[in-house]
């Protein structure tokens, strides 16, 4: 534990040195593409979105090619899920405090329940919590991730969602969105999300909803929805959603894992039950991906909002988007190249 604490402290010190006024010379700039559009290079057999591998069947590759997601049943064991659940409860009780993690809560319930499972709706950026981060290193998950990213794999963005029972105000409805909106790195075809249900997820408790085939579109403008009631910080949605596009509710059992493309339009409904719908997820990317400049793109306003959040959290005077992602990112397989 002492060694873990030292490693976490060192990583946190590194990012804080970036967030605060520069203490040393900046690294030499490198020339990288700045386009926010998607670059897809076809692979053998005409597949653009998966790499040649010995794991996925031709039918599975074609399904992902056509739809932008692939559901693998019972991939993560009950034992691992229960370990993740216990660690989440420890975080809720403040028995552990992972460096850099964002513990998001329903503030309206805190006075009634304190910080507990009934209040905490998300643990984001848990890369410094070794127990939760085990999810990102599970061999059964990584063998599928490699089919999308290749052998050099970075864990870029981590979340454990605890969807609370909701009200008519739809507080925990996540509007339809594309995850690439949040990411300043490309190409999109070498990024994939692994999302595992920690209990049954269905239409009653707010399962994932996807629009198959939308991964073939470009990144669309996002912003805060205009519906009534409270809107969660950074829960952006499509500004111009096509209601006619067919939607599929992904009913999943405990341990089921869906892998999906960062341009796939998706969201989740409200939890109409009295229980809590948990999931754990990680966005993985090839370490050969590269950072882009989001200025003058549809992502620029998100950059400013995220920078403000980090400035307040760390009391920093300046912060760059790349610094934030450098702290979040951890190598889980192969060699670290760009990210």
The share of the chain scoring above pLDDT 70, in percent, equals: 77
DSSP one-letter code for 271: B
Q: pLDDT of 40-55, one tens digit each? A: 444 556 899 999 999 9
* Cβ-based neighbour number of residue 290 at 10 Å: 16
In the predicted structure, residue 13 carries a pLDDT above the cut 70: no
Give the C-alpha separation, 21 to 262, whole Å: 33
> Residue 68 — left, alpha, or beta (φ > 0 → left; ψ -120 to 50 → alpha)?
left
Which string of DSSP letters, residue by residue, matches 54-109?
A: SSS-HHHHHHHHHHSEEEETT-S-HHHHHHHHHHHHHHHTTS---TT-EEEE-HHH
Question: Is the distance from CB of 263 to CB of 204 less than 8 angstroms?
Answer: no
Rounded to a whole number of angstroms, the distance between the first and last alpha carbons of the chain is: 27
Q: What is the mean pLDDT of residues 213-224?
A: 89
List of residues 6+ apart from 8 with CB closer than 8 A: 98, 99, 128
Q: Is the pLDDT of residue 118 over 60?
A: yes
* Sign of the C-alpha dihedral computed for residues 49, 53, 55 and 60 taken in this order: positive
- CA–CA gap between residue 131 and residue 127 (Å, rounded): 9
pLDDT number for residue 132: 98
DSSP 21: S
Topology (CATH level 3) of domain 47-333? Jelly Rolls (2.60.120)
> DSSP letter at 145?
H
Instruction: Decide if 251 contacts 202 (C-beta within 8 A).
Output: yes
Ordered by start, the domain boundaries in the chain are: 47-333
pLDDT digits (tens, 9 = 90+) for 283-324: 999 999 999 998 888 877 777 777 777 677 667 777 777 888
């Amino acid at each position: 534990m002492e060694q873990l604490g030292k490693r976490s402290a060192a990583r946190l010190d590194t990012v804080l040195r970036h967030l605060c006024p520069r203490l040393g010379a900046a690294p030499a700039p490198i020339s990288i593409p700045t386009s926010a559009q998607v670059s897809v290079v076809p692979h053998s057999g005409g597949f653009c979105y998966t790499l040649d591998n010995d794991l996925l069947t031709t039918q599975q590759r074609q399904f992902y090619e056509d739809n932008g997601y692939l559901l693998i049943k019972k991939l993560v064991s009950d034992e691992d899920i229960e370990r993740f659940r216990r660690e989440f409860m420890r975080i809720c009780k403040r028995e552990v405090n992972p460096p850099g993690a964002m513990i998001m809560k329903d503030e309206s319930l805190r006075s009634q329940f304190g910080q507990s499972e009934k209040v905490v709706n998300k643990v984001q950026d848990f890369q410094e919590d070794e127990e939760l981060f085990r999810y990102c290193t599970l061999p059964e998950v990584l063998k599928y991730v490699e089919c999308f990213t290749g052998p050099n794999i970075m864990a870029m963005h981590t979340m454990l969602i605890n969807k609370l029972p909701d009200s008519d105000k739809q507080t925990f409805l996540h509007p339809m969105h594309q995850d690439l909106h949040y990411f300043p790195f490309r190409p999109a075809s070498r990024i994939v999300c692994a999302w595992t249900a920690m209990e049954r997820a269905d239409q009653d408790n707010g399962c994932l909803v996807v629009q198959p085939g939308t991964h073939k579109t470009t990144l669309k403008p996002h912003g805060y929805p205009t519906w009534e009631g409270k809107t969660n910080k950074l829960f952006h949605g499509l500004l111009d959603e096509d209601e006619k596009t067919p939607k599929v509710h992904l009913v999943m059992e405990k341990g089921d894992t869906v892998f999906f493309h960062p341009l796939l339009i998706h969201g989740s409904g409200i939890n109409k039950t009295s229980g809590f719908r948990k999931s754990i997820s990680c966005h993985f990317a090839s370490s050969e991906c590269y950072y882009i400049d989001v200025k003058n793109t549809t992502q620029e306003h998100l950059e400013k909002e995220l920078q403000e959040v980090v400035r307040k959290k760390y009391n920093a005077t300046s912060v760059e988007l790349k610094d934030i992602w450098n702290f979040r990112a951890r190598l889980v397989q192969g060699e670290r190249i760009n990210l």
